Structure 1
Amino acid sequence: MNKLFKTLAPIALAITAFGATAADPFPASGKVITIVVPFAAGGPTDRVARDLAEAMRKPLGGISIVVDNAAGAGGSIGANKVAKANPDGYTLLVHHIGMATMPTLVRNIPFKVESDFEYLGAINDVPMTIIGKPSLPANNFKELTTWIGQNKGKINLGNAGVGSASHLCGLLFQEAMKTDMTPVPYKGTGPAMTDLIGGQIDIMCDQSTNTSSQIEAKKVKAFAVTTPKRLTTPALKDLPTMQEAGVKDFQVTIWHGLYAPKGTPADVQKKLNDALKVALKDPAFIKNEEGLGAVIVSDKRMEPAEHKKFVAAEIQKWSPIIKAAGVYAD
């Protein structure tokens, strides 16, 4: 018996050492999933990630999901953190349209957007809003256009930092208004909004997830939304589209997606994608997001391959715009 034990013991030990990881269920009890947000806490992408974390907990067996804000360099610092993470499904990334702009916007980007991540699916589409400081003399878009024409070279256009959604929208807004404005970048949407409310900057183009509550509280003036159709949320329902306001072909929608490091096991990817799909139908998640003007994704972009195809098309769309503007996030 002792001889048999001595023979089998090393085999059993080897199975434990090398086979346990493969056999462990995902997610394992006691583990924590970290969702990295490549922007400051309190911003629109942070809010989406926190809503999503709560909605994904139940379909993943009640596992703890925390949000880690790793801001900087056009969103590439946080993205790189995930690209270099252990591909075990416990470190994920929620990123917005920056996934499509980083390849052009960030010099010497330390990863490849299209090949260093596993695409888990799209989350939502978020409209942008054109807003101004409360003391701005304009009260509608026509008056805003007149005011801009009268103040060429004197207007401060705030944004949440180079590469942020508000920065990208601001580039298009300047082009549409056919005038130069002074860009004022901040380290996040929070401080930018604070200065807009305080009158230190004049205008900003930002996501409805960040502006709706400020518009509803009348802390800022709102002039238009960037969607093809008017929105139905209480804070935004009376705002015209840019098309209605007389600006043709001005449509900007900021989308968010979920990603894992390249090499994450296929079965783990499927469990995360399944949990994402359940979360996108969660009533509390839908209520939170739609209350901020966001539209939950319900089309084929919920599938990893389709979301990846969509991001590739967005890279092609934004690359010439960024190159023409000559802006970079170092």
Structure 2
Amino acid sequence: MKNKFLQCVAGAALMVFAAVAPAALAQSAYPTKSITMIVPFSAGGPTDTVARLIAQSMSADLKQQILVENVGGAGGTQGANRVAHADPDGYTVLLHHIGMSTAPALYRKLPFNAVEDFATIGLVNEVPMTIVARNDFPAKTLKELIDYVKKNQDKVSYANAGVGAASHLCGMLFMSAINTQLTTIPYKGTGPAMNDLLGGKVDFMCDQTTNTTSQIKGGKIKVYAVTTKKRVPSLADVPTAQEAGLPGFEVAVWHGIYAPKGTPKPVIDRLNKALKAALKDETVKLRFADLGTEPAADNLVTPEAHLAHLKAQIALWDPIIKKAGAFAD
């Protein structure tokens, strides 16, 4: 009887091991194929630029290709929704910006929960923004810009990359700060908006340094200020909004990487390891510097810190957006 009991126990243990081992082995071998990184905005924009830099470096560490796919629309919510409902196997991830924290307040019917439907992997960077205008815009300084738009608010056009985009949020705060409503022209991404600014079809916008630095340095657009407390090294001659006459005006765009909720912890840990390696890659650091940004601090490149930051940003933006009455269907 004792021998039969031991045989039964051993058999049950083998059955459990047989069921668990393949999954464990699959996770430990991850990744075994290419990974899709969804960018919820159009190609050529600032978030797309960050994603492609990070994806290339992470691919080297993972020894599998990360393929960037642009799924734009609805202020980034379409791409995010696709990842929220993807298989939680680590082969579909999302690189999103500050819009993950503003979407809960901006959209009355959001098809996902920004906190509950995702597994955070780590923060990537924080990007300053710049207030820029077409090259032949009359105003020469930020004070002159503010005076001009107040006097000509029905004639001045402000471009943004669509509801929920960083340029939309920055513009919303700018209009609130100067107590003036302007004609806004939404585009399907920052790339098209910048093209029309370069072509003189719109007057001004507020956009990330990752999208404006090369245009500013090339003398193709006017720049009035950066939106951070300190000046940006790559644009050292450009004053902060505070210095230029708009006290308390600060906004920066942060990026983070997400996986669908339920993605196994070993997979999250492996992606986090690759992200940390990418942010220490000298090529990435130098390219970030050229674009006016820098990698996130080490203590922020963890799933836990990323989640805490996301929750804090949701709490910060919720009352601001509701007060402005900036809602989307």
- Counterparts of 1:22 and 1:307 in 2: how far apart (Å)? 26
> What is the CA-CA distance between 1:19 and the residue it aligns to?
4.1
- Counterparts of 1:319 and 1:184 in 2: how far apart (Å)? 23
Q: Determine whether 1:149 maps to 2:150.
A: yes
- Counterparts of 1:291 and 1:262 in 2: how far apart (Å)? 34
- Counterparts of 1:63 and 1:102 in 2: how far apart (Å)? 32
Counterpart amino acid of residue 150 in structure 1: K
What is the aligned partner in structure 2 of residue 102 from structure 1? 103
> What is the CA-CA distance between 1:295 and the residue it aligns to?
2.0
1:21 corresponds, among 20, 23, 39, to 23
- Counterparts of 2:268 and 2:298 in 1: how far apart (Å)? 19
What is the aligned partner in structure 2 of residue 36 from structure 1? 38
Counterpart amino acid of residue 142 in structure 1: K
- Counterparts of 1:271 and 1:206 in 2: how far apart (Å)? 33
> What is the CA-CA distance between 1:14 and the residue it aligns to?
10
What is the aligned partner in structure 2 of residue 121 from structure 1? 122
- Counterparts of 1:148 and 1:271 in 2: how far apart (Å)? 50
Deviates more, 1:86-95 or 1:171-180: 171-180
What is the aligned partner in structure 2 of residue 311 from structure 1? 310
- Counterparts of 1:276 and 1:126 in 2: how far apart (Å)? 17
Deviates more, 1:129-138 or 1:291-300: 291-300
> What is the CA-CA distance between 1:283 and the residue it aligns to?
0.4
Q: Determine whether 1:78 maps to 2:62.
A: no
**Residue ranges of structure 1 left out of the alignment (5+ in a row):** 1-11
> What is the CA-CA distance between 1:17 and the residue it aligns to?
7.8
What is the aligned partner in structure 2 of residue 276 from structure 1? 275
- Counterparts of 1:85 and 1:175 in 2: how far apart (Å)? 38
User: 1:91-123: per-residue Cα shift (whole Å, max 9, x none)?
Assistant: 110000011011111221111111111111100
- Counterparts of 2:18 and 2:67 in 1: how far apart (Å)? 30
Contact 1:290 1:296 in 2 (8 A): no
- Counterparts of 1:151 and 1:277 in 2: how far apart (Å)? 48
SS in 1 for 2:314: helix
Q: Determine whether 1:138 maps to 2:100.
A: no
SS in 2 for 1:209: helix
What is the aligned partner in structure 2 of residue 286 from structure 1? 285
Contact 1:26 1:268 in 2 (8 A): no
SS in 1 for 2:254: strand
Q: Percent identity?
A: 51
Mapping of residues 198-213 of structure 1, within 5 Å: 198-213=199-214
Contact 1:105 1:329 in 2 (8 A): yes
Mapping of residues 290-305 of structure 1, within 5 Å: 290-305=289-304
Deviates more, 1:49-58 or 1:134-143: 134-143
SS in 2 for 1:243: helix
User: 1:257-306: per-residue Cα shift (whole Å, max 9, x none)?
Assistant: 01111111111111111111111100011111111011210142112111
SS in 2 for 1:199: coil
What is the aligned partner in structure 2 of residue 49 from structure 1? 51
**Residue ranges of structure 2 left out of the alignment (5+ in a row):** 1-13
TM score, norm. by length of structure 2: 0.92
For these two proteins, the number of residue pairs brought into alignment is: 316
> What is the CA-CA distance between 1:152 and the residue it aligns to?
2.7
TM score, norm. by length of structure 1: 0.91
- Counterparts of 2:223 and 2:31 in 1: how far apart (Å)? 47
- Counterparts of 1:179 and 1:153 in 2: how far apart (Å)? 10
- Counterparts of 1:152 and 1:69 in 2: how far apart (Å)? 34
Contact 1:73 1:106 in 2 (8 A): no
Contact 1:74 1:105 in 2 (8 A): no
Contact 2:142 2:245 in 1 (8 A): no
Counterpart amino acid of residue 29 in structure 2: F
> What is the CA-CA distance between 1:210 and the residue it aligns to?
0.4
User: 1:125-156: per-residue Cα shift (whole Å, max 9, x none)?
Assistant: 00000000111012222322332233132211
- Counterparts of 2:189 and 2:80 in 1: how far apart (Å)? 16
- Counterparts of 1:147 and 1:283 in 2: how far apart (Å)? 43
Contact 2:225 2:239 in 1 (8 A): yes
Shift in CA distance, 219/106, structure 1 to aligned 2, threshold 3 Å: same
User: 1:201-254: per-residue Cα shift (whole Å, max 9, x none)?
Assistant: 111000000011111111111100001011111xx2111001101211111010
- Counterparts of 1:208 and 1:28 in 2: how far apart (Å)? 33
The structure with the greater share of residues assigned to helix is 2
Contact 1:76 1:106 in 2 (8 A): no
Contact 1:32 1:90 in 2 (8 A): yes
- Counterparts of 1:131 and 1:246 in 2: how far apart (Å)? 15
> What is the CA-CA distance between 1:320 and the residue it aligns to?
1.4
Counterpart amino acid of residue 30 in structure 2: P
- Counterparts of 1:318 and 1:95 in 2: how far apart (Å)? 16
Contact 2:159 2:204 in 1 (8 A): yes
What is the aligned partner in structure 1 of residue 7 from structure 2? none
